[in-house]
């Protein structure tokens, strides 16, 4: 089963109106992006789904249908909770309440502070995570209706809930134990609790030691990028003389294949572990003035190779109830990281996904 990670941001909501201006969504950043050098693919504009609004049931249904057509088994929606305040909750709550689309889903708590840093500007705090026992209880109770939904994704027969940064929790064991207790008391039963394992979370540590059931690799893996391009003296001289674009020195460039090879060379963990792949990365739509990270040379063929390798690894190393691979992402348009069709390449990444899922060793 392949699960694609979904950003539910593409609709106006109150907090974004206050912080970025009335009607803001990331489509604004996507549409105004410009190429940084000759041959740089920007702007990345949506294809057949258009500049959709996730408040519309038709938009959500079109996403699910497109995913289903190409073999994707479910969506993992980011979930935003800040001490009782929820952001971007409308699409997923309408999915739950309406029963549509009839497509499997799960939730991942993106438990980071929000600052203005994502757009390359200052680090003004917009909304902060504050943790407490009372908040742990309130939080899990808002999630119980999702866990009861027949569409909700289960691993090992139990509802899957993912925490983006478990190391941000002051006392992970206490929080996770609270969640499990309340789920049992309220008749949901046992949970499968997971973390995204990525640079900065103590990657490689057995997640069961803090009360989790498994780790899910997060891609791209910034620890496996290999050397940054265009940093040597020859490159700097070529930029100074005008033989290379100045953008090469203002942003961070890495090679897609080198990163994939580094990821696939990682030792097999001795704890429950799910793999994740990514079709590419380029967040210059958010950081055009400098400091963007760009994975060069990503193609549908190279992405397919990575997905096939991740699926083969899963068949070899995971039991039947954990035959799951994550794909990051379905629609991170401002990060150049999406399976959804774009105006230039159409469905090529979705077609690569379908072919990889059909492939057997």
Q: Over the stretch 324-360, which tens digit does the pLDDT of each residue have?
A: 999 999 999 999 999 999 999 999 999 999 999 998 6
In a domain, 47, yes or no: yes
For 131-149, write each residue's pLDDT tens digit.
999 999 999 999 999 999 9
Preceding peptide of 43 cis, ω within 30°: yes
The mean per-residue pLDDT over the stretch 80-107 comes to 98
Alpha carbon distances (Å) from 116 to 12, 120, 126, 333, 349: 17, 7, 7, 18, 31
In a domain, 330, yes or no: yes
- Cα separation of 353 and 334, whole Å? 21
The answer to whether 348 and 300 are in contact (CB under 8 A) is: yes
Q: Is the pLDDT of residue 292 over 90?
A: no
Domain range for residue 12? 2-227+257-289+298-358
- What pLDDT does 253 receive? 84
User: Which pair of structure tokens corresponds to residue 117?
Assistant: 């840093």
In a domain, 69, yes or no: yes
217 three-class SS: strand
Q: How does the average pLDDT of the chain come out, rounded?
A: 91
The b-or-e profile of 34-66 (16+ CB within 10 A means b, else e) is: eebeeebbbbbebeeeeebebeeeebbebbbeb
Q: Is the pLDDT of residue 204 over 90?
A: no
The mean per-residue pLDDT over the stretch 245-272 comes to 84
SS3 string of 306-354? Answer: HHHHHHHHHHHHCCHHHCCEEECCCEEHHHCEECCCECCCECHHHHHHH
For 49-77, write each residue's pLDDT tens digit.
999 999 999 999 999 999 999 999 999 99
Alpha carbon distances (Å) from 172 to 133, 154, 213, 315: 11, 22, 13, 30
In a domain, 307, yes or no: yes
Number of folded domains that form the chain? 1
In a domain, 177, yes or no: yes
- What pLDDT does 200 receive? 45
- Cα separation of 121 and 125, whole Å? 12
The mean per-residue pLDDT over the stretch 149-155 comes to 98
In a domain, 157, yes or no: yes
For residue 274, the domain's CATH number is 3.20.20.80
In a domain, 243, yes or no: no
- What pLDDT does 238 receive? 60
In a domain, 241, yes or no: no
- What pLDDT does 308 receive? 98
Q: Is the pLDDT of residue 198 over 60?
A: yes
């Amino acid at each position: 089963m392949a699960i694609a990670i979904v950003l539910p941001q593409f609709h106006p909501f109150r907090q974004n109106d206050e912080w970025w201006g009335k009607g803001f969504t990331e489509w604004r950043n996507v549409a105004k992006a410009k190429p940084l050098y000759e041959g740089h693919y920007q702007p990345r504009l949506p294809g057949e789904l258009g500049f959709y609004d996730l408040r519309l049931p038709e938009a959500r249904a079109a996403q699910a249908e497109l995913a289903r057509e190409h073999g994707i088994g479910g969506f993992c929606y980011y979930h935003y909770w800040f001490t009782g305040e929820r952001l971007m909750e409308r699409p997923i709550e309408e999915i739950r309440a309406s029963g549509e689309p009839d497509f499997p889903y799960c939730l991942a708590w993106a438990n980071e502070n929000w600052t203005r840093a994502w757009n390359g500007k200052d680090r003004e705090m917009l909304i902060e995570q504050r943790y407490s026992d009372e908040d742990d209880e309130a939080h899990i109770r808002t999630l119980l209706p999702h866990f009861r939904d027949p569409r909700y994704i289960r691993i090992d027969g139990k509802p899957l809930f993912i925490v983006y940064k478990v190391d941000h929790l002051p006392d992970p064991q206490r929080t996770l134990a609270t969640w499990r207790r309340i789920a049992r008391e309220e008749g949901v039963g046992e949970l499968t609790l997971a973390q995204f394992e990525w640079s900065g979370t103590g990657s490689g540590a057995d997640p069961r030691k803090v009360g989790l059931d498994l780790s899910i690799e997060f891609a791209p893996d910034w620890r496996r990028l290999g050397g940054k391009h265009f940093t040597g003296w020859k490159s700097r001289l070529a930029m100074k003389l005008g033989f290379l674009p100045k953008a090469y020195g203002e942003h961070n460039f890495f090679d897609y294949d080198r990163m994939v090879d580094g990821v696939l060379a990682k030792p097999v963990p001795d704890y429950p572990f799910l793999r994740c792949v990514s079709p590419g990365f380029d967040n210059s739509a958010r950081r055009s003035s400098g400091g963007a990270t760009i994975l060069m040379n990503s193609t549908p063929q190279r992405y397919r190779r990575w997905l096939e390798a991740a699926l083969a690894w899963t068949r070899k190393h995971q039991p039947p109830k954990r035959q799951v691979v994550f794909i990051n992402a379905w629609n991170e348009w401002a990060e150049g990281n999406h399976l959804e069709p774009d105006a230039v390449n159409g469905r090529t990444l979705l077609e690569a996904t379908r072919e990889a899922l059909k492939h057997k060793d």
